[in-house]
């Protein structure tokens, strides 16, 4: 696949998860602060944020950033330690998870993509710790657009070196048509997805996995899991569904907000 996988950030095994997060965060905090200074100033007029509140908002953005880093890191460790003899794939949603499309007045296509600043350092560390594991995307963006964006410095180029190109999954490849499904249909569908953990309260699960794209992503994951029984899949997404599969991070969990964009 032509991806260099070397120990760039070798983290001693004996360190606890907490120390690891702090160490990774130290490496990115300054850059993240710089990013959010610009980001907050740029977006403030659109959301009506007054300049005297910028500092406070930047701190909040940094908290969300660190929470994202921590949740993904801990879940990746949990998956790898619980299933040491499996292969692994870590799949990130793009929009509102690691990135936000940037539009300008009158533009038909996004002019750029903001990539959340912790992404690159997180992927770099995951690569270093788990060189055999794959890292990819599961997204509603079309595949040819993702491939184009990965080559474009204005879009996703900064993470390109960490992404396995054969692990880019897009909802356009799902044959599931979610239109016209009522809550009961959704409940039955979710029950039929072997990758969704059995849950006593399937009504609640069905209600919280309500969008068509979530169902299509589950459909894709179900196929992946059935076709690759030796592989464990972990998903990171701003929507709820990762909470109900074996390994996943939903950025809206615990009522906290680690979703990107932060304002």
Shortest distance, position 252 Cβ to Mg ion, whole Å: 10
Could you say whether residue 238 binds Mg ion (CB under 5 A)?
Answer: yes
The DSSP code sequence of 216-233 is HHHHHHHHHHHH-TTEEE
In the set 20, 65, 93, 219, which binds Mg ion (CB under 5 A)?
A: 93
Shortest distance, position 14 Cβ to Mg ion, whole Å: 36
Could you say whether residue 95 binds Mg ion (CB under 5 A)?
Answer: yes
Could you say whether residue 74 binds Mg ion (CB under 5 A)?
Answer: no
Q: Which of 236, 250, 257 has its CA nearest to residue 205? A: 250
List Cβ neighbours of 31 (8 Å cut-off, separation of 6 or more): 117
Could you say whether residue 214 binds Mg ion (CB under 5 A)?
Answer: no
* Cβ neighbours, 10 Å, residue 177: 10
* Residue nearest Mg ion (C-beta atom): 96
Distance (Å, whole) CA 196 – CA 248: 11
Q: Which of 251, 23, 32, 247 has its CA nearest to residue 120? A: 32
Could you say whether residue 96 binds Mg ion (CB under 5 A)?
Answer: yes
The piece of 30-38, 91-99, 177-185, 252-260 that touches Mg ion (CB under 5 A) is: 91-99
Helix (H, G, I), strand (E, B) or coil at 83: coil
Length of the chain: 263
Is 171 or 238 the residue whose CB approaches Mg ion more closely? 238
The piece of 24-32, 102-110, 184-192, 230-238 that touches Mg ion (CB under 5 A) is: 230-238
Could you say whether residue 20 binds Mg ion (CB under 5 A)?
Answer: no
Which parts of this chain interact with Mg ion (CB under 5 A)? 93, 95-96, 238
């Amino acid at each position: 696949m032509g991806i260099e996988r070397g120990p760039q950030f070798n983290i001693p095994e004996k360190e606890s998860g907490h120390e690891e997060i702090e160490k990774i965060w130290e490496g990115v905090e300054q850059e993240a602060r710089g990013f959010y200074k610009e980001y907050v100033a740029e977006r403030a007029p659109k959301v009506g944020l007054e300049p005297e509140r910028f500092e406070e908002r930047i701190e909040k953005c940094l908290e969300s950033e660190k929470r994202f880093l921590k949740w993904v890191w801990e879940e990746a460790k949990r998956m790898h330690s619980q299933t040491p003899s499996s292969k692994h794939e870590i799949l990130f949603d793009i929009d509102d998870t690691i990135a936000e499309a940037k539009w300008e007045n009158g533009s038909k296509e996004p002019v750029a993509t903001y990539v959340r600043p912790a992404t690159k350092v997180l992927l770099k560390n995951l690569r270093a710790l788990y060189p055999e594991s794959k890292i990819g995307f599961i997204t509603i963006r079309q595949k040819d657009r993702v491939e184009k964006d990965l080559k474009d410095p204005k879009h996703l180029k900064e993470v390109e070196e960490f992404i396995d190109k054969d692990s880019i999954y897009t909802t356009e490849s799902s044959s599931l048509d979610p239109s016209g499904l009522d809550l009961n249909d959704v409940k039955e569908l979710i029950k039929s997805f072997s990758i969704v953990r059995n849950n006593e309260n399937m009504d609640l699960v069905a209600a919280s996995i309500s969008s068509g794209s979530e169902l299509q992503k589950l459909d894709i994951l179900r196929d992946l899991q059935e076709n690759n029984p030796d592989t464990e899949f972990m998903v990171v997404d701003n929507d709820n569904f990762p909470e109900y599969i074996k390994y996943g991070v939903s950025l809206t969990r615990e009522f906290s907000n680690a979703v990107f964009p932060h304002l």
